[in-house]
Structure 1
Amino acid sequence: MAVIVAVEDDPDVHQLLRLILENAGHEVHMATEALVGLDLVAEHGPGLAILDVSLPGGVDGVEACTRLRAHGAHADLPVLMLTARAREEDQRRGMAAGASDYLVKPFDIVELLGRVEKLLG
């Protein structure tokens, strides 16, 4: 079991993501805004962060990833970008911000869990 912080603003994906990860045995802390997600990372010290790119509140998932990378305690935290933004430019932007992996929605549950387990090591 690992602790995972996931930031997803779509209510249906939010609920589905929590269900998938909890059924896989993980402790999951969810947020709908990036700044709340960053607070959860600081509070729970997860083994993985999952970030949507498009988020409300003025800070998107790419900026949240950049902030994690800039913070010494979380600089090496694996980050999975989980987003509907499928353009190559979007993927490059996410990876340049320090994302460990990039998965496009809609996603396959088996693929999601495989990537999560790989990132958790």
Structure 2
Amino acid sequence: MVDDQGELRKLVRMTLEFGGYELHEAGYGERALELATVIKPDLVILDVMMPGEIDGYQVCEQLKKGAFEKVPYVILLTAKGQASDLQEGDRVGADDYLIKPFSPLQLIDTVKIALQ
């Protein structure tokens, strides 16, 4: 889970902890890429707008380039919901796109489908 808002990370953690998922958290893009190198996640839930040198689109693009041993499923979870934002998500290789505010049930369903 990558989001600069600790409250949102907490909500996602509480939503997914009942599914028995192992969850790691990062507050900005650079840290997300560091963790991905070590953890090799199956799935990344990623905000777009974050502080630091790289945004969520750039993180997604780097995760999907194949520079990582394992290419994770990427769900962009963001307030950016314009058509151009969705197109940018497609361009960088995001597998799914959820717009904030989101339904916790929708997130659970999306994660379950992604990890099948």
Could you state the TM-score of these two structures normalised by the residue count of structure 1?
Answer: 0.90
How many angstroms apart in 2 are the aligned matches of 1:7 and 1:101? 15
Once the two structures are TM-superposed, the CA of residue 72 in structure 1 deviates from its matched residue by: 4.5
CA spacing shift, 1:72–1:105, aligned 2, 3 Å:
same
| DSSP 3-state at the match of 2:64 | helix
Q: How does 1:22-37 map to 2 (within 5 A)?
A: 22-37=17-32
**Aligned amino acid, residue 90 of structure 2:** M
Q: Is the 8 A contact 2:47 2:78 kept in 1?
A: yes
Could you state the TM-score of these two structures normalised by the residue count of structure 2?
Answer: 0.94
Give unmatched runs, 5+ long, in structure 1: 1-5
1:73 aligned residue: 69
Cα deviation, 1:5-42, whole Å, max 9, x if unaligned, reads: x1011121111111112222101000000110111111
| DSSP 3-state at the match of 2:57 | helix
Is the aligned partner of 1:9 residue 2:4? yes
Runs of 4+ more than 6 Å apart:
none
Q: Is the 8 A contact 2:37 2:68 kept in 1?
A: no
| DSSP 3-state at the match of 1:30 | coil
Cα deviation, 1:35-81, whole Å, max 9, x if unaligned, reads: 1011111111111011100011121000001111121523x311000
1:49 aligned residue: 44
Q: How does 1:77-96 map to 2 (within 5 A)?
A: 77-96=72-91
**Aligned amino acid, residue 103 of structure 1:** L
1:120 aligned residue: 115
1:102 aligned residue: 97
Identity of aligned residues (%): 36
Give unmatched runs, 5+ long, in structure 2: none
Cα deviation, 1:59-109, whole Å, max 9, x if unaligned, reads: 1000001111121523x3110000010101001101110000000010001
How many angstroms apart in 1 are the aligned matches of 2:17 and 2:37? 20
